[in-house]
Amino acid sequence: MAEGAFSSFDISASGMSAERLRMNVIAHNIANINTTRSAEGGPYKRRYVVFEEVLAGAQRELSGMIRDVGSGVRVADVGRDTSEGPKRYMPGHPDADADGMVRMPNVNPVMEMLDMMSASRGYEANVMAISAAKQMILKALEI
Amino acid sequence: MKTLLQPEVLELYTKMLDFTAVRHTVIANNIANVNTPGFRRSDVEFADELERVLRDRGLKGVKDIRFRRTKPNETAVRNDGNNVDMDVEMAVLAENALLYQVYAQLLARRFRNLQEILREA
């Protein structure tokens, strides 16, 4: 973990990689929006990421600087949404039950799209924070 | 010579650079946690303390100022318990980065002035 002026790069990078992982999970959900067979049996269940603040690491006290400023974010867990998906009438389908109904994945495309936008905005904001830090450091070199 | 150099002024500029650097780290942390459920934004307080020290002890006291991390409560909280407002963070980020550049510029100008004086002497 870099100290002082450069530690904000690590913080913003942790935000970027967390949002990128979230984006990957969303892409995985969308790719499996019609998957009726999964490893654990039954239709695909939507996955979601759980973010967690990282506090340890940045403990320091330099010329009156505060301690524990926080050091970014990490993905604590990738969870499984266990709710049941909708049933669709597809009598010819190999996974259909006696009534011709097929249990579909519980992926909601609108929700995934919203999550995707939120992830991409979050990523961009972290990029902005890094470019601001770069400007600051370059300016300090002019002293 | 003391009035010419005025180390307290350099001290003040350095302190302001420190402050903006720490504040940038804290804001970057807020932005990184924009989607973390239950996360509360932090900020760094300095202006009140600086005002108090300048009033009581003048420029000499600046060196001993400590920054305080605060968790303001007045901001709106989303459904997931997070109160990071992206617009606020981006505005503070931009303002803070500019302030850092201002103090760096002031410090640089001060050193250039000294150089000029030494050359003229």
| Tens-place pLDDT, residues A82-96 | 999 999 999 999 999
Higher pLDDT, A49 or B76: A49
User: Which one of B19, B33, B68 makes the best mutation probe of the A interface by having the most chain A beta carbons within 10 Å?
Assistant: B33
Q: Tell me the mean pLDDT in the region B52-68.
A: 87
Q: Does B64 touch chain A (CB under 8 A)?
A: yes
Position B114 confidence tier, pLDDT thresholds 50, 70, 90: confident
Tell me: pLDDT of A2 over 60. Answer: no
Most distant CA atoms of chain B, gap in Å: 66
Give the residue among B109, B120, B114, B112 at the shortest CA–CA distance from B1: B114
Q: Does A69 touch chain B (CB under 8 A)?
A: yes
Q: Does A115 touch chain B (CB under 8 A)?
A: no
Tell me what ipTM this predicted complex has. 0.79
| Tens-place pLDDT, residues A38-51 | 998 899 999 999 99
| Portion 81-100 of B in contact with A at CB < 8 A | 86, 89-90, 93-94, 96-97, 100
Which residues fall within 8 angstroms of residue A80, CB to CB, at 6 or more apart? A45, A46, A47
Instruction: Say whether A72 and B33 touch across the interface (CB within 8 A).
Output: yes
* pLDDT for res B63: 84
Closest residue to A7, CB basis, from B17, B25, B90? B25
Give the residue among A3, A19, A122 at the shortest CA–CA distance from A75: A19
Q: In A12-48, which positions are buried (b, 16+ CB within 10 angstroms) versus exposed (e)?
A: bbbbbbbbebbbebbeebeebeeebeeeeeebbbbbe
Integer Cα distance of A101 and A87 in angstroms: 6
Instruction: Say whether A12 and B27 touch across the interface (CB within 8 A).
Output: no
Give the residue among A137, A127, A15, A122 at the shortest CA–CA distance from B97: A137
| Residues paired with residue A50 on neighbouring β-strands, in sequence order | A77
Please tell me whether the overall predicted TM-score, pTM, comes out greater than 0.90 for this model. no
